[in-house]
Amino acid sequence: MKKKIKIGKIFGLIFAVLFVAILVFPFYWQLISSFKDPEDLMMMPTEIWPSRFSLDFFKNVFSVHHFDTFLKNSIIVSGFSMLFSILVALPAAYAFTRIRFSGYKFWKNFMLLANMFPIIAVVTPLFVVFKKLHLVNTYAGLIIPTIVITLPLSIWTLVAFLGQIPYDLEQAAQIDGCTRLQAVCKVILPLMTPGLFSTAIIAFITAWNELMFSLVFVTKNEWRTVPVGITLFVGEFTVPWGDMAAASICATVPIVIVVLICQKQIVAGLTAGAVKG
C-alpha cells in the first residue's frame, strides 16, 4: 500500500513538473530570444541557451519603434480604468450585498451578461459615436470602453469578497454611534484590503491586455497601447522576432513583478467567496 502511495506521488510530481515546464517554456523562450545576438537568433539548430548575449533588440524597441510611448499610453489607460472601476465597483458591490432593492437579481445578472457580451458586436457603433464626439485618438476614447470590460469584473470580485464580511460588524459599529458611512470606512474598508488589491490588479491586467478597442479607436501611433504597438513591428516582408520578443518582455515583466509582490492579497481576494463561515 505504501509503495502504491509513493508511486502515485512520484507520478503526480512528474506531471506537476511537466505541466509547469509547459507553461513557463514560452516565456523562457521569449526571454532568451530577446537577449540573443541578432546573428544567432535564426541560427539552426537553435540554441536553448544563448552563446552570446546582446541588448540590441531592447535598443531597437525604444529607439526604432518608440516603445516607451506605447508603455506610457498603456499605463495611463490601464491606471485610470482601474481607478474608476474600483471607485464605482465598491459602492455597487456594497449595494448588491447589503441592500435588497427593486430589480436586485436582474441587475446582478445583467452585470455578468454585460461582461460576456462579444466586444466585436459593439465596436462599429461605438466608433461612429466616438468619432462624432471627437473621442477617437484620445485617452478618453480608450478609457471609457475599457471600463465597460473592467467594471463588471470588478463588481463581481468585490461582491464575492464583501459577502463574506458579517453584517453584524456594521451593526455593532452603528450601535456604538457610527453612521453607515463611518461604519463602512472604519470597519469594512480595512477588512476589504485583500479584495481591493486583487480586484485592482485584475482590472489593471485586463485593461493592459485589451486589444480590440485600442486597435479600432486609435489611428495614430502616438496613441497606441502596448498590445497594438507590438503588432506594428511586423513589416511588409520581414518579421522582427527579436524586437517583438524584447517588447513582450518589457510589457510582461512589470505585471509579473506586481503580481509576485501582491500574490498574498490576490489569493486572499480571489478565494474570499469560496469558503463560507
- Whether 29 and 72 map to the same domain: the answer is no
Q: Give the other-Cβ count within 10 Å of 62's Cβ.
A: 15
What's the predicted TM-score (pTM) here? 0.81
Structural domain span for residue 236 = 56-270
Specify if 108 maps to a domain.
Answer: yes
Q: What is the pLDDT along the chain (277 residues), one digit of tens a residue?
A: 556 667 777 888 888 889 888 888 888 888 888 888 877 777 777 777 877 888 888 888 888 888 889 999 999 999 999 999 999 999 888 888 887 777 777 777 777 776 777 778 888 888 889 999 988 999 999 999 999 889 888 888 888 888 888 888 877 888 878 887 888 888 888 888 878 888 888 899 889 988 888 888 988 888 999 998 888 887 667 778 888 888 888 888 878 877 777 777 666 655 554 444 4
Task: Choose among 53, 26, 28, 23: nearest CA to 39.
Answer: 53
Do 12 and 121 lie in one domain? The reply is no
Please count the structural domains in the chain.
2
Nearby residues of 88 by Cβ (< 8 Å), 6 or more positions away:
151, 154, 155
Look at the block and give the residue holding cell 445583467: 110
**CATH number, domain containing residue 249:** 1.10.3720.10
The residue from 33, 54, 75 where one domain ends is 54
Residue ranges of alpha helices (H) inside 99-176 are 104-116, 120-132, 139-162, 167-175
